[in-house]
Chains A and B, each alone.
Chain A
Amino acid sequence: MIKRWSIRQLALERYLALALLCLFTTVWVTPLAIVALSSMKTPIEQSQSGILALPENAAMILDNIASASELAGIGNGLLSSLLYAFVGSATAVIAASSAAYSIAMLKIRFPFFWFLIIYSGTIFPFQMYLMPLFGLYQSVDLYDTRFGMLLFYSAIAVPFCIFVFRNYFIGLQGEVIEAASLDGASSFQTYLRVVLPMAKTAALFLFVTQFSWIWNDFLFGQVLAKSDDVRPVMTSLATLSGTYGKGTIPQQMAGALTASIPTLILFFALQKHFMQGLILNTAGE
């Protein structure tokens, strides 16, 4: 009798918790709905209609994106960020996997020392990089160039990648060396044909996480670039928004939405990798 009552009570508690959670989640995602709604309004409509009122003409979003782009170079920013995120993370994955291969599988002296040198790049706050990079880039004419941005984004992504690859390769060690020595492959062939294919999952996961990191960067775009052509999208977006922003609310929201689309697509396509990345991150950064 008592037991049955407690089970019923438990079920009731559960439903109550579920109801509360649903309410919480609804409030939680409301800002996202507001972004979408306001990005489809004209500035006058936005200031006069209710916050959650439906827009009169949803196609207004295109106008807002276009004018936001004109005002702050969001369009150029998107293209530049796409380049940085793609090439930067790919370069980092290649450089880190080859270095990790050398550290974990080839005969070098002091492998752990080399690993620590490269991995130590994750431990410092970004504030330690800003002034010297700014000075260096000015003096070698890399300031405000796409190549300079690419170089930096590749470098900043390497340390975490090497951490993951090294762990992964150390786990593989025996198998690979055996397989390779069986058919007498050179070390480069082993890297290309045996090691890389086996590390495909790790490489993909790293590519995705580093892609979204580079895509979301604001600070280094702010310090190392100034023109609309070179600035990454988040740095462009920042000139529209905030207390000192120069855009109207619909322009700001349209810009924010546009800038988020690539990472949102990545997230829904590769949700598993994102969550996995988070968990791996706790062991890395």
Chain B
Amino acid sequence: MPDTNQVSTDPLRNEAPVTALDRAPPEAPTRARALLRTIEPYLYLLPALLLVGGLLLYSVAHTFAISFTDWDLITPPRFVGLKNYIDAVRDPTFTRSFTNTLVWTGGSLLLPVAGGLLLAVVLERIPGQRILKTLIYLPAILSTTVVAAIWSYVYTNNGVLNETLRWVGLEALARPWLVFAPTNTLAMIVASSWRALGPSMVLFLVGLQTIPPELIEAAKIDGAGERILFWRIKLPLLRPITAIVVIMSVIGSFMTFDLVWVMTQGGPGRSSETLAVTMYRQAFIMWRMGYAGAVAVILSTIVIAFSIFYLRATLKRSAL
């Protein structure tokens, strides 16, 4: 699709001679030429516009419209107003899914974000940090599906975690990790953090590098210990990057799907569903498109609100 447009502008150019020297002096512009002149710049926009508009933006508008209808994909959609939204808010599974999503958000702020900050601060002053940094970053290269496959094995009954616990004599702690709520959600947050910690650590390390060393030296001369250095100097100066990491993490948590779907499909008994999983289940398992649309719109509202914060933070950053 994009290629044909690309090519269609091509022959016009290629017929013309190539170098500047043997180019004829500009002819008197005919109307057709003038028209082409004005249109031509827009042709470069066309492939991107068609792809994004035709597939993505069209879908957004359509999902929004679907959310006000009752639709099972077979019979034609019927307008029902706000019914799907009201149903969702009253539905205990939706409430649980929303709560789970909030737990995901909190857990991701605690483990990858706070953990990444801690690691960055410690790692910054350590020799050989490059190798450690690369190794800690490594899981982030794997796809969520691969991470889900690995951690399913970690958490299964005779899996890595339970075997290890038995081996060190903590048999009492061994349990089916993915079966009972809220353990299953917490276990999956740990799995997700395994992948997310590296990137947030790297971002904090970049942030730490931008702190002028003289500032740290001056504070040390004044007798500031590590703790004061961290709370009074490093953390305040890291604020722009912290804002970005936090907002990115919140947005990511709200969109959590792959990991949960592969590990538990939101079960058992829908106990580990997140909003994105609820939406998928309603749409593609239960064929309640309208309800699924309402969930998608609620999810988007939250994510877009945070994205606006995020854009503000990045705009401020690029203004620096």
Contact = CB atoms under 8 A, between A and B. Distances in A.
- A, B: real partners: yes
Tell me the dominant secondary structure on chain A's binding face: helix
Interface stretch (A55-63, A198-206, A215-223): A215-223
A117 B13 contact: no
A91 B141 contact: no
Given A47-B158, A102-B41, A260 B300 contact: no
Interface in A184-207: 184-189, 191
Nearest to B2: A95
Interface residues of A, number: 101
Nearest to B284: A223
Contacts of B258: 218-219
B84 to A, nearest CB: 13
Interface in B22-66: 23, 40-42, 44-45, 47-49, 51-60, 62-64, 66
A252 B55 contact: no
Nearest to B63: A128
Contacts of B127: 18
A50 B245 CA distance: 39
Interface residues of B, number: 106
Contact of B143 (A47, A215, A222): A215
B153 A156 contact: no
A172 B163 CA distance: 58
B256 to A, nearest CB: 10
B202 A124 contact: no
B95 interface: no
Contacts of A18: 126-128
A187 B20 contact: no
B47 A260 contact: no
A28 interface: yes
Nearest to A138: B73
Contacts of B303: 123-125
Tell me the dominant secondary structure on chain B's binding face: helix
B107 interface: no
Contacts, number: 294
A136 B150 CA distance: 35
Interface centre among B1, B142, B151 (most CB of A within 10 A): B142
Interface string B99-126: 0000000000000000000010011011
B203 A279 contact: yes
A131 B63 contact: yes
Interface stretch (B85-93, B211-219, B230-238, B263-271): B263-271
Contacts of A216: 142-145
Contacts of A256: 142, 146, 149-150
A53 to B, nearest CB: 11
A184 B52 contact: no
B44 A99 contact: yes
Contact of A31 (B47, B134, B160, B203): B160
Interface in B181-230: 194, 199, 202-203, 206
A130 B283 CA distance: 9
B154 interface: yes
A183 B148 contact: no
B174 interface: no
B45 A184 contact: no
B245 to A, nearest CB: 8
Contact of A108 (B41, B122, B153, B160): B41
A240 B146 CA distance: 11
B279 interface: yes
B10 A188 contact: yes
Contacts of B254: 125
Nearest to B152: A242
A12 interface: no
Contacts of B297: 128
Given A117-B49, A151-B1, A234-B146, 6 more contacts: A131-B293, A132-B63, A136-B55, A187-B41, A271-B134, A279-B206
17 contacts: A22-B132, A31-B154, A38-B153, A102-B44, A125-B254, A128-B296, A131-B66, A136-B58, A158-B52, A159-B52, A222-B261, A223-B284, A234-B146, A242-B152, A259-B145, A260-B146, A279-B206
Closest 4 CB pairs of A and B: A216-B143, A183-B20, A241-B149, A102-B44
